[in-house]
Amino acid sequence: MSPLVGLVVVSHSRALADAAVALAREMAPGELAIEVAAGLDETTFGTDAVAIAAAVGAADSGAGVVVLMDLGSAVLSAELALDLLDDPDARERVLLCPAPLVEGLVVAAVTAAGGADRAEVTAEAAAALGGKQEQLGVAAPPQPVEPAEDAGDIAGFTVANPHGLHARPAARLVGLVRGLDDAEVRIRNATTGSPWAPAASLARVAALAALRGHRVEVTASGPGARAAVDAVLALAARSFDEGGAPPAPARVPSDAVGARGPLPAAPGIGIGPKRGVAPAPVVVPDEPAAAPAAERTRLDRALTTAAAEIRAARETAARELGPAEAAIFDAHLLLLDDPDLLSGVQDRIGAGASAPQAWSEGVERAAAALEAAGDEYLAARAADVHAVGDQVLRAIVGAHTAPVGAVAGPPPVLVAVDLTPAQAAALDPAQVAGVVLAGGSPTAHSAILLRARGVPAVVGAGPAVLEAADGVPIALDGATGEVVIDPTAQVAAAFENRAAAQAERDREARARAGAPAVTRTGVPVLVGANVGSTADAVAAAAAGADLVGLVRTEFLFLDRPAAPDVDEQEAAYRAIAEALGGKRITLRTLDVGGDKPLPYLPLPAEANPFLGLRGIRLATAHPQLLADQLLAVVRVAHDAPVSIMFPMVSVVDELVSARRVLDEAIAREGRGSPPGLQIGIMVEVPAAALKAAEFVPHVDFFSIGTNDLTQYALAAERGNPAVAGLADPLDPGVLRLVDAVCRAAGERTLVAVCGEAAADPRAAGEFVGLGVRELSVAPAAVPAVKQAVRELDGRQEESDAALP
């Protein structure tokens, strides 16, 4: 990769500079060099020309440096720093940018990360002030956006996400579009006939009410229009990188509370005294507005405060729950910077409204658009808009949010109309027995976070739960939706027995998570983890995984303008290996294609990408891509136990060609074949399963990808709701394919299963009985799967292995 322009931040305050850099890296993650020369020390204000010159030298990798400054003597110090540079060429490569520090740094980071030169980075950063200047004027009311005259052809995609284009996939779309500096993208819901909307506005995108199965049209204008549309279509083809969210639980009737019946939201049994959570309403003060400039300052300060609070909640969620749960807060951050929402608020302030009034009205408008869509899931997203809106409004008026934390006495059952995602993410399952919400939805972000936290929860319980006095006992079952207020001694005992039994099962599984999984008849089974990041690998090690059975290396290749080089790949794979502390990691080579395309790898249009150029087929068509990846793998394999797994292999010649590229990579490294390096293939194609014996001489292991094997065997796409019910990995036809692989492998070749079915305790017996000796699952599922293996006895294995 070509070197990127480096950035230097010059400020009187070290804290201000560090915070600005943190914000910039949130918007432009990656290896971009951003150096800080701020303050005379951690606490003393001032600027130092010598420190600035040193920072410039550290940031310059050959493409030059752009320096951003706050005010006054910072500019003079930066100019003096250039005079201190001994190398005239180095001075020529430095540009001092007049942009406002924070806005300019964010724009500069995004632009530089995209590979722009220093002149373009400087120009784009300086233009960041233009948006603020425009907002400070009185603009015309927002109008429907129509495609520009130079817009290209209209393309489209069908929304495949279970809950449509809701907050998280919408946030991914907005984040992608905002990273495109040479195209303006617009989208519309063709199914509902909506107007065109700017794809850079989260509120406008979400308000399209694009549900699963809806057709969304995309167009763009500008020099990069075609690439921009392709990038959006690629993101849509990957379902906006949204993991398999749990389906909305079915409603469970109850005559205890609620007119519609409570809904299960997070599994587990909870018993404890009621503790009502009723945040004081935020009242918009009835006061005359100050000058527009003063009101805008109030709003800006509140937005900054709210953003800091949301980022703190995101960091906590990422650290304690995982990247998928933390991504919920990305949508909240985008709302704070939503151009459509902010434009309307600025217009109201310009027309004479106070900051609280303008913000409140803007939030209500954005939430109403979602609620008016007539869809329960989008209505749940409106709750996020209200939550962020209240957070900012509290910051404007100086109100504080009462913490939802521990209290003296036994852990309570929290009862509320609803909880915000931040409140849900902060709950400690050791200090809260459960949550019952009068409103809410199982698909709301608060419910997702409660599930991740392991806090039992029931939603939609109705207003009756709010009327119960604090301290009254409440029993709930988050798996069935049962809620009982003030249960009898007999009912309470039944709940307690269920809770004790479940807790004992979970406790035993966690306590023995690090121990081997061996069936009652003495058959050892490895239980590994499927990971897609270093954080996942850390979680796998903590969960007691015996190995990493699948590293989805695509995480390094997606959502970027160019492929990672060998050094970047090596560092990422090495970090995963180090997280496992010497246990084996199985690296699957790049598995992309028409269904998961790369913007920098043009692919021909395919009527059915699942049957097209993907997996090993794509890799062999682009040998340099495969060669670089295998070289990085070989380097790591010299220092850690590594297995290489080739995906989507159909014929032996594909494997032979891939092994030839591997041999060349070993020769390039020049240290011989790494000790312990193992080679295998993913068995996803039915033909490969049926002729597995032909592959045995060439592999050390097979790993069966039950997701694709099932959909190919049953001609039922698992992402298509119309036929998803047919895609059963325990269908006798699929099990016969697994059996064929195990019989061909014999005792010499290990057979693993790395699809979602491996986490199903019912399926464990089937697979182990057929001869599978490794199951690879999500990190959180490792303890339970190990326990399920330990509970298998001879009768189960024999019966489970008996195919019809």
429's tokens: 């399952």
CA distance 51 to 40: 9
**754 tagged catalytic:** yes
| Angle, CA 331 vertex, CA 143 and CA 433 arms, to 5° | 135
Q: Which amino acid is at 266?
A: A
**E strand or H helix at 611:** none
Helix, strand, coil: what percent of the chain each, to 5?
50, 15, 40
| DSSP codes of every residue in 378-411 | HHHHHHHHHHHHHHHHHHHHT--PPP----SSSP
Rg of the chain on CA atoms, in Å = 28
- Tell me which of 163, 332, 742, 754 is the catalytic residue: 754
Beta strand 678-683 pairing with 642-646: parallel
Q: Which of 719, 712, 711, 702 is nearest to 770 (CA)?
A: 702
Hunting for tokens 């109008």 — which residue is that? 143
Q: Is there a contact between 687 and 713 (Cβ–Cβ < 8 Å)?
A: no
Q: Which of 625, 629, 626 is nearest to 655 (CA)?
A: 626
| Angle, CA 101 vertex, CA 99 and CA 104 arms, to 5° | 50
Q: Is there a contact between 498 and 509 (Cβ–Cβ < 8 Å)?
A: no
CA distance 556 to 485: 50
Hunting for tokens 């809770």 — which residue is that? 499
SS3 439: coil
CA distance 11 to 17: 6
Q: Is there a contact between 699 and 748 (Cβ–Cβ < 8 Å)?
A: no
**445 tagged catalytic:** yes
CA-to-CA separations, 669 to 112, 577, 640, 674, 712, in angstroms, rounded = 32, 19, 16, 10, 38
Contacts of 720 (CB under 8 A, 6+ apart): none
CA distance 107 to 127: 9
Q: Which of 135, 137, 451 is nearest to 317 (CA)?
A: 451
**E strand or H helix at 558:** none
**E strand or H helix at 215:** strand 215-221
Hunting for tokens 């057929």 — which residue is that? 770
449's tokens: 């976070």
- Tell me which of 163, 445, 622, 698 is the catalytic residue: 445
**How many other C-beta atoms lie within 10 A of the C-beta of residue 573?**
24
**E strand or H helix at 69:** strand 65-69
Q: Is there a contact between 475 and 491 (Cβ–Cβ < 8 Å)?
A: yes
Number of H helices, E strands in the chain: 31, 24
CA distance 702 to 682: 6
Q: Which of 357, 340, 339 is nearest to 299 (CA)?
A: 357
Q: Is there a contact between 229 and 220 (Cβ–Cβ < 8 Å)?
A: yes
630-660 b/e (C-beta count within 10 Å ≥ 16 → b): bbbbbbbbbebbbbbbbbbbbeeebbebbbe
Q: Which amino acid is at 785?
A: V
Q: Is there a contact between 284 and 392 (Cβ–Cβ < 8 Å)?
A: no
Provide the annotated active-site residues. Answer: 445, 754
